[in-house]
């Protein structure tokens, strides 16, 4: 699959999406709470303000934020010692086609912030796409609805533009 080709309809919208095969029924709320936490940390530590776009139509037209910043919660990344970098998704496992998402979503995103309540890593999409295309990292599926590759934290530390401890 060529992850750079856009398929209709876009499935990567946070707002109003229902993922019946997701094991965490609160994943949307958890992700939104994490976005709020990241916005607070970015403002207080880097003086960066994120204006999130929450409507489905707004996300279709622009992306997840006005600044082109996408935020992804990976609850277990510090425990597993790897980041799960999203590359494609579908709303139901029974659907045949994958839609480019995460680092391959066709929107205004150029920065990708990934992490959990302990630590976040800030990457350019270009860096994460290059790492994926290197073939060095294992690609996997979760629940038949998300395709991702695993980036060891040691490599994340090396390739991230910035790493921030969330609680300090």
Six token digits for residue 144: 């038949």
Six token digits for residue 67: 């600044």
Six token digits for residue 47: 């003086």
> What are the boundaries of each domain within the chain?
27-165
Position 1 scores a pLDDT of 46
Question: How many CB atoms neighbour CB 63 within 10 A?
Answer: 21
Residue 102 has pLDDT above 60, yes or no: yes
Position 161 scores a pLDDT of 98
Residue 40 has pLDDT above 60, yes or no: yes
The CATH classification of domain 27-165, taken from the options 3.40.50, 1.10.10, 3.40.30, 3.40.1350: 3.40.1350
The string of pLDDT tens digits covering residues 5-20 is: 434 444 444 444 555 5
H-state helical runs in 47-116: 56-61, 77-80
Q: Rounded to whole angstroms, how far apart are CA atoms 51 and 20?
A: 28
Residue 66 has pLDDT above 50, yes or no: yes
Average pLDDT taken over every residue of the chain: 87
């Amino acid at each position: 699959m060529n992850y750079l080709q856009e398929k209709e309809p876009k499935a990567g919208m946070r707002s109003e999406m229902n993922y019946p095969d997701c094991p965490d029924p609160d994943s949307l709320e958890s992700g939104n709470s994490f976005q709020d936490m990241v916005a607070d940390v970015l403002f207080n530590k880097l003086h960066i303000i994120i204006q999130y776009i929450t409507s489905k139509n707004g996300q279709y037209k622009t992306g997840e934020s006005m600044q082109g910043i996408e935020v992804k919660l990976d609850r277990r990344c510090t425990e597993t010692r790897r980041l799960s970098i999203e590359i494609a998704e579908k709303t139901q496992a029974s659907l045949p086609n994958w839609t480019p998402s995460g680092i391959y979503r066709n929107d205004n995103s150029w920065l990708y912030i990934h992490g959990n309540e302990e630590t976040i890593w800030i990457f350019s999409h270009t860096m994460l796409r290059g790492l994926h295309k290197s073939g060095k990292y294992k690609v996997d599926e979760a629940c038949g609805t998300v395709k991702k590759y695993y980036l060891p934290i040691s490599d994340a530390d090396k390739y991230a533009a910035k790493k921030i401890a969330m609680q300090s």
